[in-house]
Structure 1
Amino acid sequence: MTQTVSAQDARNKFSEILNTAVYGKTKVIITRFNKPQAVLIDYKEYEFLTDPTKRFTNEEWKKGFKVFDRIRARTKGIPAKEVERIVNEAVKAVRRTKHAKSGY
C-alpha cells in the first residue's frame, strides 16, 4: 500500500507517518509542491532493496556470478566501458519491451 503526504504534513505528523511506514507496512511518498521528493519505507524493506544478498538465495547468487563469468569470457579484449554500454542498451531494450507489454 502507498500513501502520499506533503512535506508540511510529514513535518507536522512525523511520528504518525513513521508508524504508518513501520507498522502499517505502507510506503509513504513525501511531496513538495505536488511532486514526489522522497519515500519513507520500513527498514527491512530498505535492507531488501539495498542488499542484493537478501533478495536472492545462495544458489541464485552463485548462478548470477556464473553469468558474469560467461560474459567476461565472451567479451575478452573489449574495453569495459564498451561492454557496459552494450549491456546498458540491452537492458533498456528489455525494459522497453516489458513496459510496452504491461501498458506502462
Structure 2
Amino acid sequence: MRSEFGWVEIGGIRYEHDIIIHTDGSISKRKKKLSKPWASEFGHTPLSAEELAFLDEEVPDVVYIGTGQYGDLPVTPNAANLLAEFEHVVRPVPDVIPLIEKERRKYAAVLHVTC
C-alpha cells in the first residue's frame, strides 16, 4: 500500500478518489456527497457521521481515518462522536498506511487522497 497526493494504491490497484476499506477487505468509493452540507462551514467537504454510518453495520475493532496527504480533511463533531464509540486513529494517509499494513484485527478505513 502506498500513496501520493491524488491517489492511493492497494494491492497493485491505484485509486484516484477517496476510498473506504470495509471490514471484509472490499474497497468502495467514499460517498462525499453525504457531507457536502457542511462544506461551507469547514471550507472543505469534511468527513461527517453520515459517511460513517456503515460502521454500525460492520462493527470494526478499529477504524482508521486517513485525513489526506497533509492531514487537512476536517472531521465534523458528529463524526468525532461516532468515532468515539470505536478504537480509532485519525492521521494523515502516509501515517496510517503503515498501521493498516500491520493491523491484524478487523478494521475499516476511510482514506482521503488529496490535501
TM-score range, shorter chain: under 0.3
Larger helix share, 1 or 2: 1
TM-score, with structure 2 as normaliser:
0.23
Q: TM-score, normalised by structure 1?
A: 0.24
Higher strand share: 2
Query: Relative CO higher for 1 or 2, CA cutoff 8 Å, sep ≥ 6?
Result: 2
